[in-house]
């Protein structure tokens, strides 16, 4: 599997790439992309890292699985390629952003603009087979992304972690709350949002307030 991950992450995660589980994962992903249509495109597999080098990291958003429909996934959790209709969770993210920050709903759902400012948009599983949600789970991606979160918790300070829904909260359970700012709410999916667990969490403004208090450039959401 030919992939590129930026130098800062390559250095931080060097040990992970040498472990047996990652060798298995690499072989699995290589075979899947060779024999099936998979997402995101292979050159965007590590887009979350390449748009957000470790030295620029301010915020981590944890997702679960890439979108598995044609043209949707672009390597960033909750994000879609330009011109693609907003999936329901992304619609609700933008609705909360509109209420919280008084910002208009964007034209496009591509969140590279967040990633380029230091927001790591990290899915727990970085690939998926077309039309088969969860098809690349339990092959090593979760071990890898757990390690990423642990390295960030251990090596960085004052990172904002946005944990939306039970899955993200469980995945972020070991984050050092004494060093980092952790915000939790329901998931932006319609099932959770319509029950009152998402709207009104004000995570976007709370993130910026925290960064501003530390003298760190806020995110232009």
Catalytic residue annotation: 65
If one counts every other C-beta atom within 10 angstroms of the C-beta of residue 115, the result is: 25
Using an 8 Å Cβ cutoff, are 140 and 47 in contact?
no
Q: Which residues of 139-149 are buried (b: 16+ CB within 10 A; e: fewer)?
A: bbbbebbebbb
CA 87 to chain centre: 15
Q: What element of type H or E holds 162?
A: strand 160-164
Cβ neighbours of 156 (radius 10 Å): 17
Q: Answer whether 77's CB lies under 8 Å from 122's CB.
A: yes
Q: The tokens of 207 are what?
A: 């993130």
The C-alpha atoms of residue 174 and residue 180 are separated, in whole angstroms, by: 11
How far apart, in whole angstroms, are the C-alpha atoms of residue 74 and residue 26? 19
């Amino acid at each position: 599997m030919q992939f590129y991950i930026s130098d800062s992450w390559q250095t931080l995660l060097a040990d992970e790439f040498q472990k047996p589980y990652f060798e298995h994962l690499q072989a699995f992903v290589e075979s899947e992309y060779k024999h099936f249509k998979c997402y995101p495109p292979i050159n965007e597999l590590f887009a979350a890292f390449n748009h957000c080098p470790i030295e620029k990291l301010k915020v981590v958003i944890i997702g679960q699985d890439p979108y598995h429909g044609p043209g949707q996934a672009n390597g960033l959790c909750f994000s879609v390629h330009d011109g693609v209709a907003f999936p329901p969770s992304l619609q609700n993210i933008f609705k909360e952003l509109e209420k919280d920050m008084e910002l208009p709903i964007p034209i496009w759902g591509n969140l590279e603009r967040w990633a380029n400012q230091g927001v790591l948009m990290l899915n727990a599983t970085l690939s998926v087979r077309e039309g088969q949600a969860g098809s690349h789970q339990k092959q090593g991606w979760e071990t890898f992304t757990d390690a990423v979160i642990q390295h960030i918790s251990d090596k960085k300070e004052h990172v904002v972690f946005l944990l939306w829904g039970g899955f993200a909260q469980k995945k972020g359970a070991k984050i050092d709350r004494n060093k980092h700012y952790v915000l939790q709410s329901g998931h932006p999916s319609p099932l959770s949002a319509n029950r009152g667990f998402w709207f009104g969490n004000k995570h976007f403004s709370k993130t910026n307030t925290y960064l501003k208090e530390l003298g760190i450039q806020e995110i232009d959401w």
